[in-house]
């Protein structure tokens, strides 16, 4: 394998966080540049990687599965949708398929890909450590697809029961593969996602607290994005939001709409990141002087926070 190509392959295989859009976009540009001057592999690994990265970046920025799926569809066709066991016997093509799970057309398709990879490991074993690494990524990603299905898709009662059964199964499997200390970031995401899925505030708080303890802004931004996308959905709530939580959802919606991370948003408003985070999570009640400064910094009126919370739900389901 040519050294430059090998370096790109290894960089892709080491990319572990789909929420890092900057890293994904930089990697996409490297693959595109390489493809201009070099021939692709027989199974189109370079072309497929570009399709996948475009789809993942789009999903992280829009949370729109439909448009993201259309971007990766050529890749799925090239990989024969996981039905050709020979095509996915290598780690590279396996990872391409695994990373497509959150943006599959349906949760049933996501499950099909997951089952195909598990069957492939039985046919072409790679060793316990490698298999556990891939399975952890698969299980974490399918919990995201199932959360999206429950929160944002119209499901029949039978489909909802199936989604809930699958979520319970795979969140348990994923957590069992996150027991080591270096897997705490993945565990934080799983706990927050579990809290959102079941409408359990204590579990959600455990996940966000664990993420906060890692002191990694990209991880916190990712969980804030999840909270912004799902926290106000009536399909996930066990009880109505209180006034502090309503304010937090609307504040987070405002920040995400401006594509501003929490730290920058805090500087704009003249407060610490911790203060804004507590407001967004509904932990603190906003004081009149704090509300005034936030509104002045962002050029909005206090009426923004008086609107019905259903506006967030409507945007999420459009």
- The mean predicted confidence, pLDDT, of the chain is 88
Quick count: other Cβ atoms within 10 Å of Cβ 204?
24
Q: What is the pLDDT at residue 159?
A: 96
* Whole-Å CA distances, 14 to 23, 106, 231: 11, 27, 31
Q: Does 318 fall in a domain?
A: no
Considering only residues 312 and 142, tell me which one the structure prediction assigns the higher pLDDT.
Answer: 142
Q: What percent of the chain has pLDDT over 90?
A: 50
> What are the pLDDT digits (tens) for 239-258?
778 888 888 888 888 887 77
Domain count, the chain: 1
pLDDT bracket for residue 266 (50, 70, 90) = confident
The rounded distance, in Å, linking the Cα atoms of 298 and 295 is: 5
Cβ atoms 251, 279 nearer than 8 A: yes
Q: What is the pLDDT at residue 166?
A: 98
> What are the pLDDT digits (tens) for 3-37?
888 999 889 888 877 778 888 999 999 999 999 99
Q: What is the average per-residue pLDDT within 59-79?
A: 93
Give the range of the structural domain holding residue 33, as residue numbers without chain letter: 1-124+139-144
The rounded distance, in Å, linking the Cα atoms of 43 and 65 is: 25
pLDDT for residue 311 is more than 70: no
* Whole-Å CA distances, 197 to 72, 82, 193, 204, 250: 26, 28, 6, 9, 20
Q: What is the pLDDT at residue 315?
A: 63
pLDDT bracket for residue 65 (50, 70, 90) = very high
């Amino acid at each position: 394998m040519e050294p430059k190509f090998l370096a790109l392959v290894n960089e892709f295989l080491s990319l572990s966080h789909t929420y890092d859009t900057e890293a994904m976009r930089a990697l996409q540009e490297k693959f595109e540049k390489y493809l201009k001057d070099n021939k692709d592999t027989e199974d189109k690994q370079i072309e497929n990687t570009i399709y996948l990265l475009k789809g993942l970046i789009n999903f992280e920025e829009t949370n729109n599965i439909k448009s993201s799926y259309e971007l990766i569809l050529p890749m799925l066709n090239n990989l024969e949708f996981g039905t050709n066991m020979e095509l996915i016997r290598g780690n590279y093509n396996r990872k391409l398929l695994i990373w497509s799970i959150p943006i599959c057309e349906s949760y049933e398709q996501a499950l099909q890909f997951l089952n195909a990879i598990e069957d492939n490991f039985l046919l072409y074993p790679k060793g316990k450590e490698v298999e556990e690494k891939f399975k952890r990524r698969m299980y974490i990603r399918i919990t995201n697809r199932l959360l999206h299905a429950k929160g944002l898709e119209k499901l029949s009662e039978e489909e909802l029961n199936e989604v809930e059964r699958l979520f319970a199964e795979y969140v348990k499997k994923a957590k069992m593969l996150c027991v080591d200390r270096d897997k705490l970031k993945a565990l934080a995401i799983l706990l927050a996602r579990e809290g959102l899925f079941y409408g359990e505030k204590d579990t959600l708080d455990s996940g966000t607290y664990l993420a906060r303890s890692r002191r990694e802004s990209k991880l916190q931004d990712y969980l804030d994005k999840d909270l912004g996308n799902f926290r106000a959905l009536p399909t996930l709530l066990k009880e109505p939001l209180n006034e502090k939580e309503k304010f937090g959802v609307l504040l987070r919606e405002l920040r995400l709409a401006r594509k501003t991370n929490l730290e920058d948003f805090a500087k704009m408003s003249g407060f610490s990141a911790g203060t804004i985070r507590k407001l967004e999570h509904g932990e603190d009640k906003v004081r009149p002087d704090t509300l005034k400064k936030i509104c002045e910094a962002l050029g909005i009126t206090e009426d923004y926070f008086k609107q019905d919370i259903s506006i967030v739900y409507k945007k999420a389901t459009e």
